[in-house]
Amino acid sequence: MDHAADALRTDLMTITRYVLNEQSKHPESRGDFTILLSHIVLGCKFVCSSVNKAGLAKLIGLAGETNVQGEEQKKLDVLSNDVFVKALVSSGRTCILVSEEDEEATFVEPALRGRYCVVFDPLDGSSNIDCGVSIGTIFGVYMVKDFTEPTLDQALQPGKNMVAAGYCMYGSSCTLVLSTGSGVNGFTLDPSLGEFILTHPDIKIPKKGKIYSVNEGNAKNWDGPTAKYVENCKFPKEGSSPKSLRYIGSMVADVHRTLLYGGIFLYPADKKSPSGKLRVLYEVFPMSFLMEQAGGQAFTGKERALDLLPKKIHERSPIFLGSYDDVEEIKALYAAEAKN
């Protein structure tokens, strides 16, 4: 590593510069998305700094409230939700917000309304917050035709209608991964500059991986195809090597590793949770959008995840996402079962 050359590296591709370049490819664009994204980036920087100092600033532990999912909210859940809602509303570019932490959708007051609907999980991986394991923020962006009179069905669009999606991982470094529909790019926060710098250009997931990621603690409640798939990962046919199990328990961290290394992340349905655990709008859709943009696949056990038409804002769905060939295997097992 040539630190001297690095210190003299003056041609910095920041996330704002990157999105402005993308915007210049669309002469009709008015810069609304660039302004919206700069407010999402501000929220990520705030949450990153709060997570880093959580132990020192007494931000560890419960907030004493329960969210719509029936989960006890962590202090950082509430703080993150607050900063994102305020940043998104003050951008003047949104009309509907759907957050994991808010029971109802937020309809932005008319004076501040703009053309985008943003769905987001302000802090994903709550079970890992207090032990300092990687967590993250997940977001998806829809365009709303008539944003002067926004209605809930404009938030309940299929994932394939998203115009952008991303996540920000708060781990050993803070990494923001973004797609605006033409590939996937990763940006790392340079704390000395306070800027997200392009470090992972044009991410492509390997066609096949050596890792599977699932909470095996639910194995006894799995359906046939899921159980068979995981068994094949551990006891592959003659001549193939078993896959390695990696499970952090934060979707952002498990999906980030899957995107870079390849393999498959799955949160299937089971007898206990017949619709799975992960929420369609602000977990399944954004991660499926990124996976497809990187050359992977995302499948619900029945259909392409991005074709789902959600009926409720906190709806859940099973999800299998990752390397193209790995997801093909699980699709084949479900297709075989459907034939029987």
Which residues of the shown chain bind ligand FBP in the complex (CB under 6 A)?
71, 100, 121, 124-127, 215, 249-251, 277
Smallest separation, CB 110 to ligand FBP (Å): 31
User: Shortest gap between Cβ of 317 and ligand FBP (angstroms)?
Assistant: 13
State which residue, 167 or 229, has the beta carbon closest to ligand FBP: 167
Distance of alpha carbon 13 from the chain centroid: 23
Which residue lies nearer to ligand FBP by CB, 19 or 47? Answer: 47
User: For residue 258, which phi and psi values (nearest 5 degrees)?
Assistant: -65, -40
Q: Give the burial string for 62-100 (b: 16+ CB within 10 Å, else e).
A: ebeeebeeeeebbbbbbbbbebbbebbbebebbbbbbbb
> Which residue's CB is nearer to ligand FBP, number 126 or number 293?
126
H helix and E strand count, the chain: 8, 15
| 175 phi/psi in degrees, rounded to 5 | -120, 125
| Closer of 283 and 326 to ligand FBP (Cβ) | 283
The nearer residue to ligand FBP, 144 or 313, going by C-beta atoms, is 313
Please report how close the Cβ of residue 33 comes to ligand FBP at its closest, in angstroms: 25
The H or E element that residue 18 is part of is helix 15-24
CA gap 129, 110 in Å, rounded = 36
DSSP secondary structure of 247-266: --S-HHHHHHHHHHH--EEE
